[in-house]
Amino acid sequence: MGTGAYSKIFPSAKAALEGVGDNMTILVGGFGLCGIPENLITALRDSGAKGLTCVSNNAGVDDFGLGLLLQTRQIKKMLSSYVGENATFEKQFLSGELELEFCPQGTLAERLRAGGAGIPGFYTATGAGTVVAEGKEKKVFDGREYILERGIAGEFALVKAWKADEFGNLIYRKTARNFNPMIATAGKITVVEVEEIVPVGELDPDMIHTPGVYVQRIIKSPSLEKRIEQRTVSKG
């Protein structure tokens, strides 16, 4: 429970993940290591839940982000658009330990948006005529082939935002917004970690990216570190 009778604010990441269990579908925000809910991911690892299907643009790196759950073999399937930067992922996939569903990045974003809007599926030309289309229903509109993609929803959605009010209205910061707004709508229980929580009424309504009606649980948790996947510098 939250800190009050109807409060959405929880005292810790562990408390906010109450109810997480084996074989669930977990949606996780972020792009690369930008805008990932790192504290909630660590708490998910510590929960011991296994057999998870994780939907996220990518799988972190070996020792950070969802890579932590790959180390402990808690993920049985990843649904992602990019899985580079992670040697553990590569080993588990090639050995048959980890199931992978690739999804084009824009299609992944739309599948999550559709799932959050209650739309079971949509047709897109992206991937038509490629391996992405294998096993999917196909239709021709105006002479062009389209494939059916299903909306995505999950039992839990883990989101990183910059600021929230006590009702759960969210503001993301710059590129850390990425997949978080779509994922916030697509979880039966959406858990958000934020750097600042303010009273209701303090956020400019025109600046809110995710309405609080989508959010069930909030924790205040500053970023642990600013990780960079690949650093390229010029010689001085």
Give the per-residue pLDDT at 228. 63
> What residues make up the domain containing 17?
13-121+152-220
CA 188 from centre of chain: 13
Query: Is residue 199 included in any domain, yes or no?
Result: yes
Question: What is the distance between the alpha carbons of residues 218 and 232, in angstroms, rounded to a whole number?
Answer: 35
Q: Is residue 3 part of a domain?
A: no
**In this structure, is residue 88 part of a structural domain?**
yes
- Render 46-95 in DSSP notation, one character per residue: HHT--SEEEE-S---BTTBTTHHHHHTT-EEEEEES--TT-HHHHHHHHT
197 within some domain = yes
The candidate with the shortest Cα–Cα distance to 18, out of 1, 33, 41, 38, is 1
Instruction: Look at residue 152 and tell me whether its pLDDT is greater than 90.
Output: yes
Give CA–CA dist 219/20, Å, rounded.
16
Burial class (CB within 10 angstroms; exposed 0-12, middle 13-18, buried 19+) of 149: buried
| pTM score of the predicted model | 0.92
Structural domain includes residue 1: no
What is the token pair recorded at 96?
Answer: 């048959």
User: The domain spanning residue 81 has which CATH number?
Assistant: 3.40.1080.10
Residue 96 lies in a domain: yes
Question: Could you tell me how many residues make up the chain?
Answer: 236
Instruction: Render pLDDT for 57-68 as a digit per residue (tens, 0 to 9).
Output: 999 898 899 999
- Which pLDDT tens digit goes with each residue over 206-231? 999 999 999 999 999 876 566 665 66
pLDDT in tens, 32-41: 899 999 999 9
Per residue in 93-150, pLDDT tens? 999 999 999 999 999 999 999 999 999 999 999 999 999 999 999 999 999 999 999 9
Per-residue b or e along 175-203, where b marks 16 or more CB atoms closer than 10 Å to that residue's CB: ebbbbbbbbbbbbebbbbbbeebeeeeeb
Q: CB of 128 within 8 A of CB of 162?
A: no
Q: CA 26, CA 180: separation in Å to the nearest integer?
A: 13
Domain assignment present for 35? yes
Q: Domain for residue 8, yes or no? A: no
Task: State the first-to-last Cα distance of the chain, in angstroms, to the nearest integer.
Answer: 54
Please tell me what DSSP assigns to residue 31: B
CA distance 14 to 158: 12
pLDDT at 2: 55
Number of folded domains that form the chain? 1
